Amino acid sequence: MGFARGFGKLLGTSDSGYARNKDINLEALVKRLEGKTQCLCETLFPAGQTEHYRIYTATMEIHKKVLVRIYSPTTTNARGSVKHPGEMLCAEAATLRFLKCSNPTIPVPTPICCDDDLDGLVGGALHREILG
């Protein structure tokens, strides 16, 4: 319940996960990323949007610059509620699980977080050199 409640505050949603608006509180996102990963997030700003995700560039203490994908649904039902609110929690869980991993250079089919070099690997060449 705490997981849903925290992410609900981030997206301006109720505890059930239904979106009331599309505004994302960047300050809350930074605090949530720092709290879950236990590393500093120095900067965070919008980098784009896909059909169901908002992409943010974050400079984090252990991963340098990464892209954070946040579920921000554009598809709603007749009442204006998100059709699949459970996907919001799954997307956040996957993002936070990735940010906590010790080797962020694993290849992923649809990157949740990735470096700017666009080499298909999360973390980028510079980070791989640091890890050895």
pLDDT tens digit string along 71-116? 665 555 555 555 555 555 555 555 656 555 554 443 333 434 444 4
Residue 121 DSSP class: B
pLDDT for the residue numbered 72: 60
pLDDT for the residue numbered 56: 76
Q: Is the pLDDT of residue 125 over 70?
A: no
Q: Is the pLDDT of residue 31 over 70?
A: yes
Q: What is the rounded distance in angstroms from the CA atom of residue 81 to the CA atom of residue 75?
A: 8
The bridge status of strand 64-71 relative to strand 53-60 is antiparallel
- The token pair at 3 is 């997981």
